[in-house]
Structure 1
Amino acid sequence: MSRPAPLASFAYTAADEEKRRGVRRMKATATGLLLLVALIFTLATWAKNEGIDGWPGYVAAAAEAGMVGALADWFAVTALFKHPLGIPIPHTAIIPTKKDQLGESLGSFVGENFLSADVVRARLSGLALGGRLGAWLAEPAHADRVTAELSTALRGALAVLRDSDVQAVVGEAITRRAETAEIAPGIGKTLDKIVADGAHHRAVDLICARAHDWLTVHGDSVMDAVQGGAPGWTPRFVDRKVGERVYRELVRFVTEMRDAPNHPARGAIDRFLADFASDLQADTDTRSRVERMKSDMLSRPEVQDIIASAWSSVRAMIISAAEDERSELRLRARASLMSFGARLATDGRMQQKLEGWIEDAAVYVVTTYREQITSLISDTVASWDAEHTSRKIEAHIGRDLQFIRINGTVVGALAGLLIYTVAHALGG
């Protein structure tokens, strides 16, 4: 299995080098303290060998134990990052040699102690997210911010989508829905209600008025059409008389129909529409004809183009509304967010329901993808360069580690002094 490429973000940087200089200063301090106790030990030992009794023994014992403590802690601190004195002693240079194992252990530790269902639920239940979210959304400034972010996300999503793909999907969906839904009964019910309410009378009035106006303007055309349809053996003056009579009767009929609401022709139209509405709902043959007409209309290229182009209009409308801060879409979204936030901030049942959804979603994520999350940690650590990792970690925590050396020197000296004092007292 190939190892991931090293991550540039974990490379040793100039900032790390600045911290490393501070580490070197602390190293010099700890080493200086070691040399100081070594000098004290040397002087105390010399004084003791010169026959001076009393304090030289105590000082020498303290200095000797201080040197031991300093050297032991120096070895322990150095062994974390490299081999002491370059000697490959077992269990030294722990970070560069055990980096991958440390990453796996860290991933397992996180998975077992942080990515468990009980831990996630306990942590989320204590946050009271429902009330906090509600109070936050109820603030106008926060609602504006969320609305702006949602608008940006919506515009981005619409920009990513390919118009041709969406048009094809929309066209197919509309066509399939229209083909599977029978429209005749619905049209029949609508027409039945229109006739019952008399709503069609205005349409009949308009048609009669327009027909009268047209006949008034195009009387010659009507008479010419009647004369043109007459037999060739009839005299011309007879054809003209017939044409004039037909025209006058048409004008009279349309005028009466226009001016008389109770005209028999209007009643005939009412009965026809009522019968047609009933046939649309109950007559199998009529319903089949309507469905065939619907299928023929849907299959026409012009209709398909209109359906497909509907997406372009909707997309442009949504983008325009999302970009305009005062658009009805954004104003309604903002108002809805604030209303939802105000209700959420005070409604305990809604808070519990929302928090339950959040907890369930978080538990599902951590339990389903726990291995992927922990492997991300171990793989990331494995991708780090060993030398850079060691130097970077030392730059960040090395200064504190040098205090371990200093403390070891001081504690060792005190322990050595105490042991020497107790031993001298018991032996003396």
Structure 2
Amino acid sequence: MDDTRVEPVDQGQSTNRQKGGRKGEGPDGDPVGAGAARRRNPGPMNEISESDEVKRRGVRRMKLFATGLLALATVVFAFARWREASGAGAWAGYVAAAAEAGMVGALADWFAVTALFRHPMGLPIPHTAIIPTKKDSFGRSLGDFVGENFLSEDVIRGRLRAVGIASRLGGWLSDPKHAERVTQELAAALRGALTVLRDSDVQAIVGEAVTRRANAQVVAPPIGRMLDRVVAAGGHHRVVDLVCVRAHDWLVEHQDSVMEAVTGGAPGWTPRFVDRRVGERVYKELLRFVTEMRDWPQHPARGAVDRFLADFATELRSDPDTMARVERLKGDVLARPEVQELIESAWGAVREMVVAAAEDPDSELRRRARAALLSFGERMAADPRLQSKVDGWLEGAAAYVVTTYRDEITALITDTVASWDAEQTSRKIEANVGRDLQFIRINGTVVGSLAGLVIYTVSRAVGG
């Protein structure tokens, strides 16, 4: 009654199977189409691994043991019947009843266990070979079971709420060693991302994005508001001071240039000394004006500059003609190749700076990242409201993934099971659970014997 498969080991046997094989089998001994399906769908469930072979040998040993018990019960039954017929005494009837019931239990359980994986004795009895014939149905049922019992929103939320991820994560991040580890991993990920990105692609994207954003944004009113605030706060005075100082220094250093410019524009009929005196006068007045403007904060020219800037700020905010001219100037500036090259080249500088900061453990970027992680971890470990908020985010994200992609996840289970070869799947499952199933046969033999003994004893007691 042992249903252990005898695999062909002889070359001749193998050749015979390749030439013919039993009806309904392919050249490799598989059911028609099974070998092709396995070749189409290679995978762990379509291959018998070395560990599976070890388990199958264990299953065969357990099958031999269970079959041995059946054979023992058969021998005991025959012997007891013979002794009973020879007038050995009442004990022979008890032994025969126990052995007979053990045989029945062993046969029934052998049939039940074998029917899971194949047709008992090759007979196409209905509702046998359950795993090979119902594999796809099992896959669909498994997918539905997982979807209903593990991928429901209530289950996910309840499980995450019970785990308390935010509290645990906060306690973990509050450890400086863990914060340093996360910082290192983030730095490595950042370096990898920046290395993978092609500079030309990023530069083109940055340039296009900056240009499009600048063209879409009307800049005159914001510039006017900013200039108005600067003038009101006197922030432009430093610029005026710097211009005055630089103008004064330039006049002192370039007196001859100023003189030549004045005398060079004089009429040709004027005497040279007159041109010289006019040039000196103009230079002195210009130098005096700049010096006074530099040293006197209340100089009228400074007030004129203040009024000019204030009026210009107002025009930038309200005068359509001024705003239109500023927008045209903005477009002309952005269209210049030098400006586009400057925008695009900014990415290279930023990338180098970020990569260098990510590689340096003592960089300001790494220090701030560590400090931020530590601070966040300490807050999350101690603040119940923050924990609740983070847990709510995680629960919401997990629930969204589950509710949105549940069908795809369960379809993955169903399609994967459907791609497995039926016979190989049956063999693999039997290799992993068959040893334990043989205990059903063993228990059936033992329990059947005890039940038969009890029934025979009760019937004798009642009938006697």
TM-score after normalising by structure 1: 0.89
**Separation in 2, partners of 1:356, 1:248:** 77
Question: Superposed, which structure 2 residues align to 1:173-322 within 5 Å?
Answer: 173-322=209-358
Q: Which moved more, 1:54-63 or 1:150-159?
A: 150-159
**Which residue in 2 is equivalent to 1:80?**
116
- Distance apart, 1:405 and its partner CA: 0.9
Any residues of structure 2 matched to 1:141-180 within 5 Å, and which? 141-180=177-216
C-alpha change, 1:317 and 1:413, in structure 2 (3 Å) is same
1:100 maps to 136
Measure, in 2, the Cα distance between the counterparts of 1:89 and 1:159: 64
For 2:427 and 2:101, locate their aligned partners in 1 and report how far apart those are by CA, in whole Å: 31
Q: How many angstroms apart in 2 are the aligned matches of 1:103 and 1:34?
A: 35
AA paired with 2:216?
T
1:377 paired with 2:413, answer: yes
- More moved, 274-283 vs 373-382: 274-283
Select between 45-54 and 167-176 the one with higher mean Cα deviation: 167-176
Report the alpha carbon displacement of residue 381 of structure 1 after superposing the two structures with TM. Answer: 0.8
Pair 111,261 (structure 1): closer, same or farther in 2 beyond 3 Å: closer
The equivalent residue for 2:388 is: 352
1:49 aligns with 2:85: yes
- In the TM superposition, what whole-angstrom CA distance separates every residue of 1:1-44 from its partner, at most 9, and x where no partner exists? xx895242332111111121211221121122222222222222
Distance in 2 (CA, whole Å) between partners of 1:249 and 1:415 is: 131
- Offset of 1:399 from its aligned partner? 1.0
Secondary structure of 1:210's match?
helix
2:43: which partner in 1? 8
Other structure's SS at 2:266 match: coil
AA paired with 2:44? S
**2-side partners of 1:191 and 1:356: how far apart?**
46
The CA distance in 2 between the partners of 1:267 and 1:126, in whole Å, is 71
Aligned mates of 1:121, 1:162 — CA distance in 2: 41
| 1:26 paired residue among 44, 62, 74 | 62
**2:171 is matched with which residue?**
135
Equivalent-residue separation in structure 2 for 1:7 and 1:357 (angstroms):
40
Residue ranges of structure 2 left out of the alignment (5+ in a row): 1-36
Residue 58 of structure 1 deviates from its aligned partner by 1.0
Following superposition, the deviation at residue 407 of structure 1 comes to: 0.4
Q: 2:279 is paired with a residue of what secondary structure? A: helix
Note closer, same or farther for the CA distance 1:262–1:122 as it changes in structure 2 (3 Å cut): closer
User: Which shows bigger deviation, 194-203 or 370-379?
Assistant: 194-203
Residue 89 (structure 1) aligned to one of 118, 125, 134: 125
Q: Percent identity?
A: 69
**Structure 1: how far apart are the matches of 2:140 and 2:76?**
46
Q: Give the alignment of 1:413-428 within 5 angstroms.
A: 413-428=449-464
1:297 match: secondary structure: helix
- Divergent runs of 4+, >6 A: none
Pick which of 156-165 and 91-100 moved more.
156-165
> 1:100 Cα deviation (Å)?
1.2
How far the C-alpha of 1:212 sits from its partner, in A, is: 3.1
Larger RCO (CA within 8 A; separation ≥ 6): 1
Q: How far apart are the structure 2 equivalents of 1:209 and 1:199?
A: 17
Q: Distance in 1 between matches of 2:458 and 2:296?
A: 133
Q: Residue 237 of structure 1: CA displacement?
A: 4.1
Equivalent position of 1:333 in the other structure: 369
Instruction: From the superposition, tell whether residues 22 and 172 of structure 1 become closer, same or farther in structure 2 (CA, over 3 Å).
Output: same
Match of 2:432 in 1: 396
Q: Which amino acid aligns with 2:122?
A: G
Cα distance, 1:226–1:156 mapped onto 2, change above 3 Å: same
Q: Deviations over 1:312-345 (max 9, x none)?
A: 3333333333333333233323322332232223
Structure 1 pair 263–352 and aligned structure 2 pair: CA distance change class (3 A): closer
CA spacing shift, 1:397–1:279, aligned 2, 3 Å: same
Q: Deviations over 1:360-381 (max 9, x none)?
A: 3323322222221111111111
Q: Could you tell me which amino acid in structure 2 is paired with residue 213 of structure 1?
A: D
Distance in 2, matches of 1:67 and 1:88, equals: 23
Work out the number of aligned pairs and report it: 427
Inter-partner Cα distance in structure 1 for 2:292 and 2:149: 92
**Greater Cα shift, 82-91 or 186-195:** 186-195
Q: CA deviation at 1:262?
A: 4.1
DSSP 3-state at the match of 2:87: coil
* Match in the other structure for 1:116: 152
- Report what 1:363 is aligned to: 399
Q: 1:114 to 1:253 in 2, by over 3 A?
A: closer
The residue type equivalent to 1:393 in the other structure is I
> What's the counterpart of residue 99 of structure 2?
63
Shifted more, 293-302 versus 185-194: the winner is: 185-194
What is the one-letter code of the residue matched to 2:425? T
Task: Give the whole-Å Cα distance in 2 for the aligned partners of 1:231 and 1:25.
Answer: 126
Paired with 1:296 and 1:29, the residues of 2 have a C-alpha distance of 94
CA RMSD for the aligned pairs? Answer: 2.7
Output the amino acid matched with 1:100.
D
- Displacement of 1:149 in angstroms is 3.1
**Secondary structure in 1 matching 2:163:** coil
Greater mean alpha carbon deviation, residues 35-44 or residues 144-153:
144-153
- The AA in structure 1 aligned to 2:377 is G
- The two structures have a TM-score, normalised by structure 2, of 0.83
- Cα deviation, 1:154-207, whole Å, max 9, x if unaligned, reads 334444444444333333332233233333333334334444444433333333
Unmatched 5+ stretches in structure 1: none
**What displacement does 1:261 show?**
4.0
